[in-house]
Amino acid sequence: MSLKSDDELDIIFLPFVSHGHLLPMVDVAMLFAKLGATATIVTTDANTALFHTKISRDRVAGSFLSF
């Protein structure tokens, strides 16, 4: 299932700044991105390091989430 071009969806994720909230939020954002939505995660530079490896690894596997 994917979104049609006339049904484009942009989602902004603003997770509570806690390790227990950041990584699950990245997973949810990746699910939306795989369905064709534009997913943006708002976070700090320090927290970006927590999920940079996860996003990079999933990008190789075909995810469209980026920084």
* Averaged pLDDT score across all residues of the chain: 76
Q: Strand 10-13 vs strand 38-41: parallel, antiparallel, or unpaired?
A: parallel
Q: Please give the Cα distance from 6 to 53 (Å, whole number).
A: 32
Between 52 and 14, residue with greater pLDDT = 14
Q: Is residue 44, in this structure, part of any structural domain at all?
A: yes
Q: Please give the Cα distance from 51 to 13 (Å, whole number).
A: 14
Full domain range(s) for residue 33: 5-60
Which pLDDT does position 25 carry in this prediction?
Answer: 85
Work out the number of other CB atoms within 10 angstroms of the CB of residue 33: 20
- Convert the pLDDT of each residue in 28-48 to its tens digit: 988 888 888 888 888 888 777
Q: Which band of pLDDT confidence, cut at 50, 70 and 90, is reported for residue 63?
A: low
pTM surpassing 0.75?
Answer: no
Total tally of structural domains belonging to the chain = 1
Which pLDDT does position 2 carry in this prediction?
Answer: 53
Q: Is residue 66, in this structure, part of any structural domain at all?
A: no
